[in-house]
Amino acid sequence: MSRKTVITCALTGSFDTPAKNPAVPVSPRAIAQSALEAAEAGAAIVHIHVRDPETARPSMDLALYREVVERIRERNADVILNLTTGAGGRYVAGDPDPAVAGPGTTLASPEARTRHVTALRPEICTLDVATMNFGEHAFMNTPAHLRAMGALIREAGAKPEIEVFDLGQIELARHLLAEGHLASPPLFQICLGIPWGAPATPETLLQMRDRLPRDAVWSGFGISRAEFPMVALAATAGGHVRVGLEDNLYLSRGQLAPSNAALVEKAVSLLAHLDCAPASPAEARAIFGLAA
């Protein structure tokens, strides 16, 4: 009997990827349509950021989140929605005074970063247990902010997907779990290959898996060319998987992915060779411990 593997599709992200691949959805209508196509292809969960439709830049606008959610729910009430709370964590040091936030800083309060979760009450939302260099800027999530966000997420009835980008972040997550700020059993996402987090290698994924709490359910992904090797490794190592245009713009070397659905279809095909079958949304709810 095939092992059921949960596929998450990360639809659009927040970097300047629409300029590199026109298949990256930007408008609420396009993001929702891409989510529906990904679900039809085999994704049980869709991970959602929103963008300003005019500029394609990342946004925290509640109205945009609401439109995406409503458009998806109008046509598919079953697929699991996972809203990001990563927006609002960017800090760019000012010049000449690095103590003053520079252009590009989005650092926001826990309340602002979870406002859409409180309003729209998704089943899952991300919680980035990470303060790190993220490319050329800093990604900031202090323990105090994480405790506050954890409480707001719990009040909204959502399950936090604890995103970790390196080993030390797992230790902080374990500490927050021990304090009771995050509920058990936890759901983790191991994020690999992001500059300057842990590299997307088999050794790294297995080491991070082995540091998770014993009762954790986990998924893992690698970005760019590591996306599908990490699908294979995560699935065979007992985890679940994530693909999507947020993480990787290519279907194969030199071939831009035409859609999120195409990336999901490739993951489904790869998993079949490993005797893994994509979990339905109902099966994913049972695996991830979501409320019925």
What does each of the 292 residues of the chain score in pLDDT, given as a tens digit? 679 999 999 999 999 999 999 999 999 999 999 999 999 999 999 999 999 999 999 999 999 999 999 999 999 999 999 999 999 999 999 999 999 999 999 999 999 999 999 999 999 999 999 999 998 899 999 999 999 999 999 999 999 999 999 999 999 999 999 999 999 999 999 999 999 999 999 999 999 999 999 999 999 999 999 999 999 999 999 999 999 999 999 999 999 999 999 999 999 999 999 999 999 999 999 999 997 5
Could you tell me the residue range of the domain that residue 123 belongs to?
3-288
The answer to whether 235 and 275 have CB atoms below 8 angstroms apart is no
Who's near 178: CB < 8 A, 6+ residues apart? Answer: none
Amino acid making up residue 283: E
Distance CA 65, CA 183 (A): 25
Distance CA 196, CA 194 (A): 6
Is residue 8 helix, strand or coil? strand
Task: For residue 8, list its beta bridge partners.
Answer: 45, 242
Check residue 2 and give its pLDDT.
Answer: 77
Task: For residue 73, list its beta bridge partners.
Answer: none
Distance CA 230, CA 222 (A): 6
Check residue 292 and give its pLDDT.
Answer: 55
Q: Give the helix ranges, DSSP H, for the chain.
A: 28-41, 62-75, 110-113, 115-120, 143-155, 167-179, 202-211, 227-236, 260-273, 281-288
Task: For residue 277, list its beta bridge partners.
Answer: 4
Is residue 103 helix, strand or coil? coil
DSSP for residue 280? P
Q: How many domains does the chain have?
A: 1
Check residue 110 and give its pLDDT.
Answer: 98
Burial of 95 by CB count in 10 Å (0-12 exposed, 13-18 middle, 19+ buried)? exposed
Amino acid making up residue 110: P
Residue 180 CB neighbour total at 10 angstroms: 10
Q: What are phi and psi of 238, to 5 degrees?
A: 100, 5
Is residue 100 helix, strand or coil? coil
Task: For residue 128, list its beta bridge partners.
Answer: 163
- β-strands 187-192, 159-164 pairing: parallel
Q: What is the CATH number of the domain that holds 8?
A: 3.20.20.70
Q: Which of 271, 270, 268 is nearest to 42 (CA)?
A: 268
